[in-house]
Structure 1
Amino acid sequence: MSLLPVFLLLGILMIASVQGYVSYHVSDAYNSKRYHVSKEFENFDLEKMNNRCKQLGGYLLQPDDRSEAGYAVAYARRTGWGPFFTGITDQNSEGGFYYYNNNKPARYLQWKFFQPDNWYNEDCVEIWTDGINDRHCGTRGRYICEVPA
């Protein structure tokens, strides 16, 4: 038996890990978009994760309307993959939430009860099964990208 297939597989895995390969859960199409949730838990970094979403042809989730915001919360509930980080932040102006990708004010924020609370300076936003929550950037978790379908 040849070891060549084993070495080829190991080589592919090494290249994938060096290039930062990330695998995603991918939603069905919804309003001409698909949502990609990272399978791995990592320390969340807005710029790094948004760049990964750009490699997929999209950006970190930024709900454009109530329907999309509701879909994202229901998606977290239905799949059990939440919470996951979004492209919403208030890192430049405390309490002034905006979309990281385009710097526009974030709208349609369906906050969880008693949120946002800015507990010890939370600047990133994640989606839970019952709404959104402010969270410390750098916390380990998954993230969600929105990509045109």
Structure 2
Amino acid sequence: MVGGRAGFQYPRGVGSSLQLAVLTTGLGRLQSSAECVLSCSEEEMFGGQRTTKKYTGLLRSSRSLPGCLTQAHLPLLLLLISLGFFMLLVTTLVQVDVSQKRTRSDLDEILQQLTWMNATLAGLCRPCPWKWELFQESCYFFSQTQNTWKESISACQNLRAQLVIINSTEEQKFLKSWNTRNNQRTWIGLSDHHNEGSWKWVDNTPLQLSFWKEGEPNNHGDEDCVELYSDGWNDNRCSTENFWICKKPSSPCPGP
């Protein structure tokens, strides 16, 4: 409003309008432009005559017409800015939610692939090395060459195993069946070369369960080491060259 001189009256009303558009681009930048078309009318009364001045213009800033923007349209401007920030926040939250869903989906896919690979490896797993035989969670290597009893011990150690120790009737039957098929005499890890008549295994445990042939052991001709026949055990000279059997624990395969 514009004040009048003495004798004049103040204008009875001022009409104005404001148009504002707020554009949001990107994730962190809010650009806004406002265009306000202002029409102001002033009525001045001078000497009984009525003079009207009308101003129409484009509002570029708050300096064009002081008080017009702040008094009439500032709440609307703040509302539009708040609405813009709210929409930006909603868009960001939606993007975060979509990203989390994609991450969970990717993790599920990776888990499925790992499960498939684990099952595949389980199918390919061999609890025993190649050319070894599995029996009751132990692996057995049947040699194709002949050695003395002590050389046979060293050969098994080189394979990270030991000359076979027989702990059960089932194990004896398994070894005997293989020995019968191949018609071979094979060294086992039993001897009494440290103390005559005191039979011990290569791990220094005493003999408890035995499968001697009839009439054995007879210790004929300094026979201190034991060989496996198709029909039982026999004591023989340790310098004799025989085939040999190594034994070691099997390796567990991964579960499904």
When normalised by structure 2's length, the TM-score is 0.44
Q: State the 1:40 CA deviation.
A: 1.2
Distance 1:34 1:104 in 2: 20
Matching residue of 1:64: 167
Identical aligned residues as a percent: 26
Distance 1:28 1:87 in 2: 18
When normalised by structure 1's length, the TM-score is 0.73
Moved over 2 A (4+): 25-28
Q: How does 1:14-33 map to 2 (within 5 A)?
A: 26-33=131-138
Distance 1:81 1:112 in 2: 16
Task: Kindly indicate whether the alpha-carbon contact (under 8 Å) linking 1:64 and 1:108 is maintained by their aligned counterparts in 2.
Answer: yes
Tell me how large the CA RMSD over aligned residues is: 1.8
Q: State the 1:81 CA deviation.
A: 4.8
Distance 1:63 1:77 in 2: 17
Q: Within the alignment, does 1:52 sit opposite 2:155 as a pair?
A: yes
- Select 2:198's aligned residue among 83, 96, 106: 96
Q: 1:38 to 1:81 in 2, by over 3 A?
A: farther
Report the count of equivalent residues.
Answer: 121
Q: Look up the equivalent residue of 2:149 and give its one-letter code.
A: D
Task: Kindly indicate whether the alpha-carbon contact (under 8 Å) linking 1:122 and 1:134 is maintained by their aligned counterparts in 2.
Answer: yes
Q: 1:74 to 1:107 in 2, by over 3 A?
A: farther
Which protein shows a greater Rg?
A: 2
**Which structure carries more helix by proportion?**
2
Q: State the 1:27 CA deviation.
A: 4.7
Matching residue of 2:244: 143
Matching residue of 2:186: 84
Matching residue of 1:17: none
- Please give the per-residue CA displacement for 1:33-59, whole angstroms capped at 9, x wherever unaligned: 1211221123x132x322321222210
- Select 1:131's aligned residue among 232, 242, 246: 232
Q: Within the alignment, does 1:38 sit opposite 2:143 as a pair?
A: yes
Task: Kindly indicate whether the alpha-carbon contact (under 8 Å) linking 1:69 and 1:109 is maintained by their aligned counterparts in 2.
Answer: no
- Please give the per-residue CA displacement for 1:65-99, whole angstroms capped at 9, x wherever unaligned: 22212322222113x15210011001112121110
Task: Kindly indicate whether the alpha-carbon contact (under 8 Å) linking 1:76 and 1:82 is maintained by their aligned counterparts in 2.
Answer: yes
Q: Within the alignment, does 1:108 sit opposite 2:199 as a pair?
A: no
Partner-residue secondary structure (3-state), 2:174 = helix
Q: 1:59 to 1:118 in 2, by over 3 A?
A: same
Matching residue of 1:75: 178
Task: Kindly indicate whether the alpha-carbon contact (under 8 Å) linking 1:84 and 1:144 is maintained by their aligned counterparts in 2.
Answer: yes
Matching residue of 2:14: none
Task: Kindly indicate whether the alpha-carbon contact (under 8 Å) linking 1:89 and 1:125 is maintained by their aligned counterparts in 2.
Answer: yes
Q: State the 1:117 CA deviation.
A: 0.7
Higher normalized contact order (CA 8 Å, seq sep 6+, divided by chain length)? 1
